[in-house]
Amino acid sequence: MQASQEQIAEMLMQMHQQCQFFEQRVKYDPSSAESFASWGSTLMHLAMVCEEQEAKKDYLKQSIEKLEKAYSMDDRCRTQDGELACFCLGNALYFNFFLERDDSKAESHLKCAKEKFQICVQREPTNISYKQMIDQLESAHEQRRAAHEHLARLEGKSEDERKVEIRNMQKQMLESVVENNKRAVEVEPQNAVNLAELAKSMFELAMLYQRADAIKLLREALSAIQKSIDLANDSSSVWVRAVLKQALSIVVSNTEESSKFSSESKHDFDRVLVMERDLDKRNALKKERELLDATIQSWFEWIQECEGSAGIAQKKNVGSGVSKSAVQAASSSEAHTDDASGYMVLVAGALLVAGAVWWFSRKRSS
């Protein structure tokens, strides 16, 4: 698991460096709305991945300040990566809605977030990300309540128990995202962007599953992204297909199938890099692939450790009269607890990858 920790630490360091870079750009040109927007967006991502609560709140507060500044200077400005500052501000306010414990203050954050998302939809009605955020707000109060209930259950628990509880919360949230994306595909089955979003969310959720369930979900995701490519053959969807095949190559048991997935994954990755002519973006994609390699490998190591713990538990209980289902439940719990620390690093890695890689597709689909 150590490799994944190092990769995540490196990404956090890069985020801090990016903040310093944008701070210097603002000092050089205080009239640059793009610099304020990019600075605020980076601070928001720092807030999302930071584990220390006070630092998380501080990053988010700074993020909102920078994004509001950018929006006041130019209400149509974008970040360096092409995202509307208005959308970033909506996300930061929505995130604040979840963190805020005071219900009245939280409601104010949610109202402001909704206003920003509605503006984004008006300006870019074909952008599926903006529409999905509006839809997600319908269950915002339910999600916030569930999140705070999870936080309440963490009180008085051991570190390992807290990490398992957080994992379950992340799993529930991602399962909800997958279901929302499935409904979007049912409404518009020929929408390539909807299909791509479904595939991405399935990959993120698969990173929380063990072998059998993960393989099933990754195959479903691969089917969805292939349909997306058939409808609109763009490089971002090819990159997603490469990610899915790489994950499948490492987790399937059949050697021939694994080799086939690995070869096809490499071909897709290389194809996207060739298609991207911008040197900076190409280098960024290479770094993202390195993080993907580490994250997927760590996920597979976690699967192996869980399976190893299950095997030991079953051997110990042979002839003991303990039911098979009880053994499986106990061994699963033991595996999750023993490896909670490394596993939570893995989850953070998977979500970081999602944030890093998917900006590429968002920019192209907007």
Q: What is the pLDDT of residues 12-68, one digit of tens each?
A: 788 888 899 999 999 999 999 999 999 999 999 888 877 677 888 899 999 999 999
pLDDT tops 70 at residue 269: yes
The CATH number given to 161-313+331-366 is: 1.25.40.10
CA distance 77 to 221: 34
User: Averaged over 128-155, what is the pLDDT?
Assistant: 81
Cα separation, 297 vs 303, whole angstroms: 10
Band the pLDDT of 310: cuts 50, 70, 90: low
User: Do 161-313+331-366 and 30-147 fall under one CATH topology?
Assistant: yes
Helix (H, G, I), strand (E, B) or coil at 173: helix
- Domains of the chain: which residue ranges? 30-147, 161-313+331-366
What CATH fold (topology level) applies to the domain 30-147?
A: 1.25.40
What sign for the dihedral angle of Cα 40, 44, 49, 55? positive
